[in-house]
């Protein structure tokens, strides 16, 4: 059965001293698309000047890149070590111009600085000094990330990428849903019910609480369902990428009449990212974005009980 996959373009921003990081980020996006992105119904294209630009003599290089690739991206990731890059006509470097240009358009840029040892001969260069000045300016504007090596960058970026895409999907799917609500439909909504319960699991760390979300198909038709999320106030969602018990990544499911499935969420994950009072319900959507929701009050009572029990 056909499904909607929303594609996003991520601009890879960096000077020339982080080649291993550029390879690592490319690998991370490929893995994310195959695992997490497939479950979310999203795909990320990592846009790089060396693969996405074409020869053009209509203007200075950065201006051409802005028109060809920068302005068409939905968000960006920037990586720095000890170089800032080549200055442009109006900015300290091409990388900084791309960061500022995306920021002025209301697009998010994840910025990371490497903390590994810098070559001694680089410490006195103009590149390093200008980078330190620019870093101070960036710290005044927002929160920067730090990584120790390419592997550590991959770990952080995968988590942050999931958060960025979940936020973009929440916004874009809401707009799609509003449009679809204007269209006449003759499809009856299946009787899919979402139940929440508190549960205990045992493991190496002893007995732990989990929130169990059970999705039941009471209708006579097969339903194709996406990911279990927690809906929050303000139109946001909390998306657990994997089951807290089985550790399996979320995926699209085919639920036949009379079938059900359970998904488990760690309350620790919930408490780290939101307040109990901001949680509206647990929810899951089908392929045409019809939502099925749990009882919100029951979910909040379960979470409050877990918080009281564990201090």
CA dist 25 and 27 (Å) reads: 5
**228 shares a domain with 121:** no
What confidence score (pLDDT) does residue 171 get? 79
**158 shares a domain with 21:** yes
% of the chain with per-residue pLDDT over 90: 67
**138 shares a domain with 26:** yes
**196 shares a domain with 138:** no
Question: Total domain count for the chain?
Answer: 2
pLDDT at 174 over 80: no
**136 shares a domain with 22:** yes
| Residue-by-residue DSSP string for 244-261 | TTT-PBP--EEE-TT-EE
pLDDT at 97 over 90: yes
Instruction: Grade residue 1 by pLDDT with cuts at 50, 70 and 90.
Output: very low
Where among 175, 202, 231 does a domain terminate? 175
Instruction: Grade residue 208 by pLDDT with cuts at 50, 70 and 90.
Output: confident
**284 shares a domain with 199:** yes
In a domain, 183, yes or no: no
Question: Chain-wide mean pLDDT for the chain?
Answer: 90
In a domain, 181, yes or no: no
- Assign residue 234 the CATH number of its domain: 2.60.40
Segment 95-101 shows an average pLDDT of 97
- Assign residue 111 the CATH number of its domain: 3.40.50
Where among 109, 140, 175 does a domain terminate? 175
In a domain, 279, yes or no: yes
pLDDT per residue over 18-57, tens digit each? 999 999 999 999 999 988 888 888 999 999 999 999 999 9
**136 shares a domain with 67:** yes
In a domain, 39, yes or no: yes
Instruction: Grade residue 203 by pLDDT with cuts at 50, 70 and 90.
Output: low
Instruction: Grade residue 14 by pLDDT with cuts at 50, 70 and 90.
Output: very high
**147 shares a domain with 207:** no
pLDDT at 177 over 80: no
**264 shares a domain with 204:** yes
Where among 175, 204, 237 does a domain terminate? 175
**203 shares a domain with 129:** no
In a domain, 182, yes or no: no
In a domain, 1, yes or no: no
pLDDT at 179 over 60: no
Q: Residue 142 sits in which domain range?
A: 6-175
In a domain, 32, yes or no: yes
**272 shares a domain with 123:** no
pLDDT at 189 over 60: yes
**162 shares a domain with 13:** yes
* Angle of helix 126-141 versus helix 94-104 axis, rounded to 10: 10
């Amino acid at each position: 059965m056909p499904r909607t996959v929303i594609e996003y373009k991520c601009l890879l921003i960096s000077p020339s001293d982080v080649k291993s990081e550029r390879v690592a980020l490319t690998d991370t996006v490929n893995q994310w698309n195959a695992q997490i992105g497939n479950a979310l119904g999203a795909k990320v294209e990592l846009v790089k000047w060396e693969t996405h630009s074409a020869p053009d003599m209509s203007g200075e290089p950065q201006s051409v890149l802005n028109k060809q690739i920068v302005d068409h991206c939905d968000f960006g990731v920037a990586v720095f070590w000890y170089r800032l890059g080549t200055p442009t006509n109006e900015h300290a470097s091409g990388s900084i111009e791309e960061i500022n240009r995306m920021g002025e358009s209301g697009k998010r840029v994840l910025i990371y600085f490497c903390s590994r040892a810098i070559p001694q001969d680089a410490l006195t260069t103009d590149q390093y000094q200008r980078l330190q000045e620019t870093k101070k300016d960036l710290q005044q504007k927002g929160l920067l990330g730090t990584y120790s090596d390419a592997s550590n960058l991959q770990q952080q970026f995968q988590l942050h990428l999931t958060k960025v895409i979940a936020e973009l999907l929440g916004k874009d799917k809401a707009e799609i849903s509003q449009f679809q609500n204007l269209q006449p439909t003759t499809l009856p909504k299946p009787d899919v019910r979402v139940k929440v319960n508190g549960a205990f699991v045992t493991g190496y760390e002893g007995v732990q609480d989990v929130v169990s979300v059970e999705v039941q198909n009471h209708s006579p038709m097969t339903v194709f369902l996406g990911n279990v999320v927690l809906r929050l106030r303000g139109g946001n969602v909390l998306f657990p990428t994997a089951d807290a018990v089985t550790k399996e990544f979320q995926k699209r499911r085919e639920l036949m009449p009379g079938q059900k499935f359970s998904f488990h969420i760690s309350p620790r994950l919930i408490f780290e990212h939101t307040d109990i009072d901001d949680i509206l319900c647990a929810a899951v959507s089908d392929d045409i974005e019809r939502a099925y929701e749990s009882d919100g009050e029951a979910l909040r009572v379960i979470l409050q009980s877990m918080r009281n029990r564990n201090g």
